[in-house]
Amino acid sequence: MFSVSKRMFALYSGPTDQRVTFQGPLVGINTHMDGGVIPGTHHTEHLMITRFTRPRGRGKKLQEEWAVPLKSVQDINERFVNFCEGKLKSSPWSELDGLQPETTIIDDQLVKINSKGFLTINSQPAVNAEKSESPSVGWGGPGGYVYQKAYVEFFCAKEKLGQLIEKSKAFPSLTYIAVNKEGESISNIPANAVNAVTWGVFPGKEIIQPTVVDSASFMVWKDEAFEIWSRGWACLFPEGDSSRELLEQIQKSYYLVSLVDNDYISGDLFAAFKEI
């Protein structure tokens, strides 16, 4: 039986004396975008993660790549597609430069779903007993084997979410949590469920389980995730600008979704997005 390792992280939303600290299981760490957590972090000890303002150089890069005129939702989708294709090196939801190595395994699928309006900010491919020394998905030291369930976190319109939920009924290994900015949620798992999505087996050690997905910490993260639409992207445009207004409309109407394929051996997470 796996034990749930706890993390401690702080969500920064102002001066350091106003930061909020949360202790609990950390959500979806292996990411192609940094959704308020540390990509590629694989530890069982407590972590303290604090979000601070971005370096000035990073703000300049965001201005260059993301402060482009947005006339429609399709223009927004195109920004995410360009990031997944490697054409952009920055993202409002990421502190890193470009995609992570493991994302190359699923980048074609990510491009496809982003073009359909499922705007991804976290993801990881399925991994079944890959050597821990693997340059793309390895972690935790030599001589071990690592495992991952396919996972993707994204924003989408309510209509798109409804279509995906209907399609997912044909894939019993899929579990999801969806929530909008106001906290209205939809899920097919119990409220207290904790789902291990990354673990490893190493010589002379107990099974290490560094990454879990659970509703409680997802609801904590969603506040910052939605805030980035305005604080991280819309703020790049002047007050009253139509692009800024479009982004704020998306922020108010979209859902943040966590989708996991629990069949890490023969599952196909992206099959549910076909024909949508």
The set of residues, in sequence order, having a beta carbon less than 8 Å from that of 115 and lying 6+ positions away, is: 77, 81
Q: Residues with Cβ < 8 Å from 175, sequence gap 6 or more?
A: 187, 188, 189, 193, 195, 259, 260, 262
The pLDDT, as a whole number, for residue 7 is: 27
Whole-number pLDDT of residue 56: 52
Residue 9: its pLDDT value, please? Answer: 28
Residues 189 and 175 sit within 8 Å (Cβ to Cβ)? yes
* Dihedral sign, Cα of residue 75, residue 78, residue 80, residue 83: negative
Per-residue pLDDT in tens (0 to 9) along the chain, 276 residues: 222 222 222 222 222 222 232 333 333 333 333 333 333 332 222 222 223 334 456 789 999 999 999 999 999 999 999 999 999 999 999 988 888 888 999 999 999 999 999 999 999 999 999 999 999 999 999 999 999 999 999 999 999 999 999 999 999 999 999 999 999 999 999 999 999 999 999 999 999 999 999 999 999 999 999 999 999 999 999 999 999 999 999 999 999 999 999 999 999 999 999 999
Is this model's pTM higher than 0.85 or not? no
Cα 163 to Cα 70: distance, rounded to the nearest angstrom: 25
